A and B are shown apart, each in its own frame.
Chain A
């Protein structure tokens, strides 16, 4: 009986070790329902899918619980772009500009988007 218990304990430990060795690292960012809402938007660009995706970005910008504690790459630029598509150009451009401040490496892309929006 004692031996069986030890055996069971050992195997449990073994499984635990295995689990910890392949456990994924903690997330750099939090994402909410991002990929599902992006998918719906790609699939059908309706006012409803646009509104839902916009809401997801607002959550992403306001609540970040990832280890980096900052908004993930692309979120400001996507949110701003969608705002522009919905007629809120001033706020949209402000958001897109924030992407460049947070991620300077995005400058070439962001400037190109801003230029096309200002046409």
Chain B
């Protein structure tokens, strides 16, 4: 029994962090190392799901992981008002378009686009399945510096199981859990982004392994 549990635990860990691609960050994201973007602007996420709130879950939880990767992130709270006043908050208009204005007006070196393609919750297990695309494009060259897409299953259920566990799951999948889920997704996907100027491994993580342009897995 113990052995079985151990195997389960080990395989779970593998699912959530390993998968070797043979890629390094230096090869996967060479342009990040070339351009060394310092200032990032987060555009409002493009929401292709019918879960209206998903956009805000992601928009409010993107700055934190990007700052933790060592970048300067233009405050989304203030930027949103500014983008609205300039009628420039429609991300779909810019995702493939010219970004030079964001350099000129806001000093952004690169712009972060996110698209939410799936958001589905399974009530019984308390898991949330999220489909996501992340793309960071340079305002100077227009080049894509970083792009990853895939699906994540967020398991926010506390163990326990049985009827009590089920009730606990139903109760705890509240608002905080959804923002937490979005933040976990952002941390998960962005851990592959080379570290920025304020992080200890800035320009020193070229040889660390990269998870590659696609992801799928379970995160907690």
Which chain B residues border A116 with CB–CB below 8 Å? Answer: 82, 85
- A78 CB contacts on chain B under 8 angstroms: 75, 77-78
Chain B, Cβ-Cβ closest to A81: B78
**Do B63 and A74 have beta carbons less than 8 Å apart?**
yes
Q: Mark A78-119, 1 if CB is under 8 A from B, else 0.
A: 100110000000000000000000010111110011001000
Asked whether, in the complex, the Cβ of A108 is within 8 Å of the Cβ of B106, the reply is: yes
Q: How far is the CB of A99 from chain B (nearest CB, A)?
A: 8
Number of interface residues of A (CB under 8 A): 40
CB distance from A52 to the nearest CB of B (A): 13
Are the CB atoms of B75 and A15 closer together than 8 Å? no
Number of chain B residues whose Cβ lies closer than 8 Å to a Cβ of chain A = 48
Of residues 96 through 123 on chain B, the ones whose CB sits less than 8 Å from some CB of chain A are 105-108
In terms of DSSP, what is the predominant structure of the interface of chain A?
helix
Given A8-B2, A78-B78, A103-B72, are A19 and B13 also a contact pair (CB < 8 Å)?
yes
* B interface list, Cβ under 8 A from A: 2-3, 6, 9-10, 13-14, 16-18, 38-39, 53, 56-57, 59-61, 63-64, 67-68, 70-80, 82, 85, 105-108, 175-176, 179, 183, 187, 191, 198-200
Task: List 17 interface pairs A-B (beta carbons < 8 Å), by A numbering.
Answer: A18-B13, A18-B17, A19-B13, A21-B17, A27-B68, A28-B67, A28-B70, A29-B67, A42-B60, A72-B67, A74-B73, A74-B74, A105-B72, A109-B106, A112-B82, A112-B106, A113-B82
